[in-house]
Amino acid sequence: MDNRHLRNFREEDFEAFHALVSDFDVVKMLASWPWPPDPAFTRARMTTPEVKAGQVCVIEVGGKFAGSIGGVDGGLGCMLAPSFWGQGIATWATQKMLDDGFRKHGWKIAKAGCWEDNHASAAVLRKCGFREVGEEVAYCKARGCDLRGLNFELARAEWEKQQVARP
């Protein structure tokens, strides 16, 4: 769809970005985001070196802030506003970030993870060709406890095979 774009963060994204990370259903699926939400933390995440380098982007749909996705040194992470769930946007954004990482940045492998109870993210990763490679227990700041997470990987060679098979 041509109404979907990945773009750099802008100062005017703060309100929408902070609203996104003020939704507990979103933040409980992330490891390092605080609860309750902290505006200073949100603002700091908009100005990291990775954001400035274009490795963490805004997902924009129809001119609206839908979420963000990062691809830093082969590690992928995505968050999407609930009003955009179930529309294939996370899959599309993940595929775009993989394309950028493998083609432009020479990644050899992409890695991602999600909490065991984040079935939607696990489905997106599998749909994009990732395979589950293990589990680990890690701390979820928003939930205030340790959780079991699933680790996924996608090797460049496997990604290249998908590109040939994709119409």
- State the residue for tokens 């999600």: 114
Note the pTM of the prediction, 2 decimals.
0.95
CA dist 36 and 30 (Å) reads 13
**Contact call for residues 55 and 70 (beta carbons, < 8 A):** yes
- Predicted confidence at residue 21, as pLDDT, reads 98
End-to-end CA distance of the chain: 15
Q: What is the pLDDT of residues 136-161, one digit of tens each?
A: 999 999 999 999 999 999 999 999 99
Q: Which two tokens stand for residue 58?
A: 């805004």
Identify the segments of the chain with pLDDT beneath 70. Answer: 1, 166-167
**Contact call for residues 142 and 24 (beta carbons, < 8 A):** yes
Q: Which two tokens stand for residue 160?
A: 């290249």
- Going along the chain from its start, the domains and CATH numbers come out as 4-165 (3.40.630.30)
- Predicted confidence at residue 167, as pLDDT, reads 61
- Predicted confidence at residue 118, as pLDDT, reads 98
- Predicted confidence at residue 165, as pLDDT, reads 73
